[in-house]
Every structure is written in C-alpha cells, then in structure tokens.
Chains A and B, each alone.
Chain A
Amino acid sequence: MIARAAVALGAVAAVSAPLWVANPYHLHVLIMAGIFTILALSLNLLLGYTGQLSLGHAAFFGIGAYTSALLALRLSWSFWLALPAAALASGLAGWAIGRLALKLRGAYFVLVTISFAGVISLVSINWMDLTNGPLGLPGVPPPTLGPWTLRTKTAYWYLVLAGAALTYLVCHRLVTSRIGRALVALRDNEPLAESVGIDGTRYLVLAAVISAAMAGVAGSLYAHYTRFVSPEVFLFSYTVTMVIMVIAGGQGTLAGPVVGALLFTALPEALREAVAWQWQMLAYGVVLVLFVFFLPRGLVPALNDVRRRAAPSRPPLQ
C-alpha cells in the first residue's frame, strides 16, 4: 500500500515538476537525472537480471549520442528519426558484444566490455573525418514537433520523462515475462537453467541488445539537450557513475536504478552547494564508501527489508 502510494506521489511530482521546481537549474539537474535513469535502467537489465557486469556501457551511450548528432547535423534528419536510429546503432553494438562474449562470463565479460569501450573511444578521438575528433560536434539541433522547437527546459523535461517512463515500462514487461524469468534463472544458476533447456548465450545476447539500445536512446536525448557531443561521452567516469547508481540503488530491482539515478545525480550537485570545491570529490568518495558500508545491497532492497519487517504476516516478496 505504502509502496503504491509512494509511486503515485512520485509520478504526480514528476509530471508537475516544472510547476513547483522554482529554479531552472534544478530542472536541469532533473533532466540529467532522467537521462541517467534511462542509463541506469539499461545497465540494470544486464547487471541485475543477467548478473553480467558491463563496464563499457558508456560506449553504447556515446554511440547513441554520436549517431543522433551526426544524422541531425550532416543529413538533417529529424530528431524523431535520429533517436530510433541511435537506438538501432547502439543495439547493433550490443549485439556485437553479446556475440563476442559468447562463452565469457564474470570477470572476462567485464574486460571485453572495457576493451570494447576503449577501442570505440579511441576511434571517436582519431577518426577526424567522421566525428571531428576532439573538437567535437557543436550545434546539435534541438527536437522540433511541428511548428514548435523543444528548446525550453520544460518541454525537454517532458520528453525525457516520457523516455524514462517508456524505458521503465519495457523493463517491467521484460522482467515479468518468460524472458525475464529465464534471465533470472540464468543469473541464479546457469548450469541448472541450461539443463532445462534455457540457452544462456541467446538470452544474454538479447539482454545485451535491449540494454544497449536503451543506452543509445539516453545518448540521443543527451546529445539534443546539451547540443554538444565530444569524445568525453566515452569517459570511463560515466560508466562508473552508472554502476554506482545501479548498485547503490539496488540491482535486480526495478525501482533501484531510478532511486539510484536520482540520488547520485543530486549528490554531486548537493556537494557543490554544501562543500568548497577543493573537498567536493573527496567528499563524494567518502559518501560512497559510507553508503556501501551501511547499505551494501542498495537502498531499495534495504527499504524493502524495512517494509517486510513492519508487516511480518505477508509472504516474502520476489
């Protein structure tokens, strides 16, 4: 009951945000949080539900951003075509990773993803003709809807909110479907799952493709909001941020990445307010360590525990 009320309240707050968020800067933070929510949800699909960690996820984000930006700048494609194209491009990359990593699991999968991201990053810096290298792609056009241009923050907030909601819905449908159950079975005990006929590799590839495509969507939204794409989108720190959001929020849950994204987008900004610039990053690291220490399974599972303790007569939730 409480959970449903909280979700409803959250939804109302989100939809009405431009009304009560006084400061455009805070709306900016919310928009970035929204984009990172999509990224966190996508990473969670791989990490939380298949148990495989992708530390190259920034590559899918970057591929989406560059694809969308290049199509809009060079071929004058509309945003509404560039976005699905970005998802497609990233999805293809996800398929490549999935196939490459056929038999790899655990640490080896992690390293393939890091290496893949590293190669893509270097290509974006060196292939000047395509990506303009380190000089980046300035002036990416904002989305247009008929006669209107979605240039204002309010308009963009609704766009990002729609994207995040859609991503959440897709994840939810996937996870509760047969595919989702197969993924969880694989995560919990792969040999056992395979013995009942679940093809591990096929499902891993599927999860990788969907996960990558979602990250590509986030990339496209990012490109048309900040209107500047440079090789820094491939920075390892973006991947690290996503990982923090998923694990600290609670991997393997659907609410976890959302909560994690909100928390860890707000945290650096809060530190900007609260702490002099010299201490900001150090404080961030310390907060992270403390967080993991006290909430090692993530925030959402901890909250679930509290709920379960408060209502012992209910059967344990899945």
Chain B
Amino acid sequence: MMLKRLVSTALVGLVALALLPAGGGAQSSAPIKIGVIEPLSGPVAASGNYVRMGAEIARDWVNARGGVNGRKIELQIEDNKSDPKEAASAAEKLIVRDKVPAIMGAWGSSMTLAAMPKLEEYGVPMVVETSSAASVTKRGNPWVFRISPPSEMEALGLEPYVDKLGVKKVDFLAVNTDWGRGSIQAFGDMLRRKGVQVGAAEFMEQSATDMNAQLTKIKQTGGDTLFLTTAVEQITLVLKQGQEQRLARKIVTTGGSSSPTQLIKQAGAAAEGSYHIVFFMPWFPEAMPDGRLAKAFVDEWTKRGNPFEGLTEGFRGHDGIATIVEAVKLAGRDEPKAIQEALWKVSITGVNGPIKFEKDGPAGKESGQSKPSIFIVQVRDGKVALPDFLKK
C-alpha cells in the first residue's frame, strides 16, 4: 500500500517535471546551442548515430579553435525515433524549450518533411544533411537548406559513367520508402535518356530480410545491371542471397549511405566487383576536394574508436554543423533570422566538398540546395578502390 503510494507519487512527480518551465535565460558568453534531430533508436539507429558522431567531431574542433564569435557551441541532440511525429515534436521542443537558433536534421525524408512546418511556424532555419526526396527543397519553405543531393542530382552525377559501365539493360531493387522510390524514378529517367532499357523494378519492405522472391524475378529479365537502393544491412542480404541464387550481374548501389567497407566485411566474396555511389571516400581521403580536412576527419574518427564503416555517413554530421557554424559567424549573432540570411552567404569546403546554396523551389520562397560532390568506388580484390573504368 505504502509502496503503491510511493510509486504513484513518483509518477506524478515525473509528469510535473515535464510541465515545469525551462530553466533560465542565456547570457552573452553562454554557449551557442545547435539543435540536432536524428534517428537514434529504431531501425535506422546506426545511421543516425554515425551522423551524431560526425557532428560531435565538428563541435569539438570548433570549440578547440575558440568557438564562434568568442562563444563555445553546444549540441542539443534529440532522437526522432525514426518516426515523423517524433521529428516534429523534437523540432518543437528544440525551438521552443531549448531556444536553439538553428537545427540540423532530420535524416529520413518523411521525418524532415514532418518537421518543416515547425521551421516556418517559428522562423528557425534547418540544415538538411541526408534526406534525398526532391520535395524537401521544392515545397517553398525558405528555412530549409540542404547539403545532401536529391536523387536527381545523384543520377546526374552518375550520368557521365553510364557508357563506361557498359550498362545496356537495368533492373531496380529498392527499399519501399520515399528514398527508394525517388531513387528508382530519378535513375530510371536518367538511364532512359541515355538509351538504356529498364527491366524490372522490385521493392522490399524496410524490415524485410528475405529477398529471394524478388531476386528470382529479376533473374528472369535478362538484364546486365542491378541498381540497389537501400540501407547497408539489406544490401548485405541482397548480395548474399544473390550469390546463393547465382545472380550474375553488375551491381550499383546508390544513396551513399551503404558503406562498402561493411559490405566487404559481412558479404565477403558476394560484394566483389560491385560499384557504389558515395559522397565521401574515407579509403583515399586525399582524393577529396579538401584532402587535408578529409584526412584529419578520418584520423579523428578512428582515434575516437568510431567504427570505420560509419564514415560514409558520419561526414554529413560534420558538414552540417560546419555550415551552421559558418552562418553564425557571418551573422555575428545567434539569432534565427540572421542565421537564415547568412546561410545564403556561406561558401566553405566541407569534408564532402564545396558547400554553397543555390535557390531551389517556387519563386519568392526558395529553399537552399547545395551541389555536393559525387563519387563512385568499386570493390576489387576485397578492398575498396576506384572503379576499373576510371584511369586516374
């Protein structure tokens, strides 16, 4: 009985805690808070955490150099639990309770889209570091600035190599999300423009582990290349199951999130020969636009004991924070409208390459879209190398 009372009181106490107003105001030497919304739990927890790790490296580097405008920066990290409703809640909390002047997030396109109305409601800018849906920058939301490429841009990045790859007939296998569907659309259009025949377009649920049915169907089409768009775990499974079914095709993975390193580790020989579109090449960082920065990032990441395979996604966290920090510096103060205006003036080189925003979307309410660098690598002899058709 006493225990019941105790527990009930404790629970009421927890609820009261939630309703208490937030703590005191900010002073001029107080740290600048930057909001981060990522999926830290749920099915894509690995990716969200990689981005977080990259963001933390950026924060520490900035603070080691004395901060920005004489103040240190602090990351206010929220978990969107891979759920758009939580992404919107997290954005609300960051803006209203924590009073962050800028946010980075929210990884998945539907999570970003769910958070976007909050940005407009309160007038706070967000740097989008991963989402690939075209609609993110086409909805006329002037508070959105994206540094990751939409699928169309990615497809354009591959276009010059299509002939060299020797693709004549292509099949698609993608995860059944906005990302997978958008990718099939974008790459399909691009390939058709180049005169390539498109065979089958198959889907898999995000949590599916058995793709044998889809692979059996794909085997029948007589194509020579298979484009894969999904997370690294499913790619591993597709490669292994493809090997079991003796599917002899060129494989091209898109989206940049699937680390070839992890594929080699887990799919072994099944990954041999596959091509991968990536936005960061941690295996040869010197080949990146700012080789010195890229190498320093890889070294710091490794020093912290973070898994190597996370680098292909972790750099996004770094570049997102670096972009926001630059905007705060240019604005001279940590005020959301000033930061939004300053973002248009940002011109830096991140780990991926140059970051500079161009107008995208309906006139008068454009969002910002940068043109990130796009690379292709190949798995050869159990290691990641530049593709055989590129003689660099």
Contact = CB atoms under 8 A, between A and B. Distances in A.
A201 to B, nearest CB: 35
Contacts, number: 119
B349 to A, nearest CB: 31
Contact of B113 (A26, A125, A138, A235): A138
Contact of A273 (B17, B110, B117, B178): B17
A227 B22 CA distance: 27
A26 B92 contact: no
A269 B17 CA distance: 9
21 contacts: A22-B21, A23-B22, A24-B96, A25-B93, A25-B96, A29-B18, A134-B177, A135-B109, A135-B182, A139-B139, A226-B88, A228-B88, A230-B84, A230-B113, A232-B83, A237-B83, A267-B15, A270-B18, A272-B93, A281-B81, A299-B8
Nearest to B176: A125
A274 interface: yes
Interface string A250-288: 000000000000110011011111100110110000010
B78 A277 contact: yes
A138 B93 CA distance: 21
Contact of B41 (A23, A24, A25, A281): A281
B114 interface: yes
A128 B117 contact: no
A138 B135 contact: yes
Contacts of A272: 78, 93
B64 interface: no
Interface in B29-50: 40-41
Interface string B69-107: 000000001110101110011001100110000000000
A290 interface: yes
B5 to A, nearest CB: 9
A16 to B, nearest CB: 15
B79 A277 contact: yes
Given A139-B139, A267-B15, A299-B8, 10 more contacts: A28-B92, A135-B135, A135-B178, A226-B114, A226-B117, A230-B84, A230-B110, A270-B14, A270-B17, A287-B11
Contact of A263 (B15, B81, B135, B177): B15
Contacts of A23: 21-22, 96-97
Given A23-B22, A138-B139, A302 B4 contact: yes
Contacts of A281: 41, 81
A80 interface: no
Contacts of B40: 277-278
Name the interface size band of chain B. Answer: 35 or more
Contact of A228 (B41, B84, B92, B180): B84
B27 to A, nearest CB: 20
B181 interface: yes
Contacts of B89: 28, 32, 269
A267 B14 contact: yes
Contacts of B182: 135
A135 B18 contact: no
B133 interface: yes
Given A135-B135, A136-B110, A302-B4, A226 B85 contact: yes
B3 interface: yes
A126 interface: yes
B77 A277 contact: yes
A295 B4 contact: yes
B21 A136 contact: no
Contacts of A126: 176, 203
A108 interface: no
A263 B11 contact: yes
Contacts of B114: 136, 226, 228, 230
Nearest to A27: B96
A21 B79 CA distance: 25
Contact of A232 (B19, B22, B84, B92): B84
Interface in A283-307: 287, 290-291, 294-295, 299, 302
Nearest to B133: A135
A133 interface: yes
Contacts of A25: 92-93, 96-97
B7 interface: yes
Contacts of B81: 281
Contacts of A235: 83
B96 A294 contact: no
Interface string B174-205: 00111011100000000000000000000100
A149 to B, nearest CB: 13
Given A22-B21, A135-B182, A228-B117, A294 B3 contact: yes
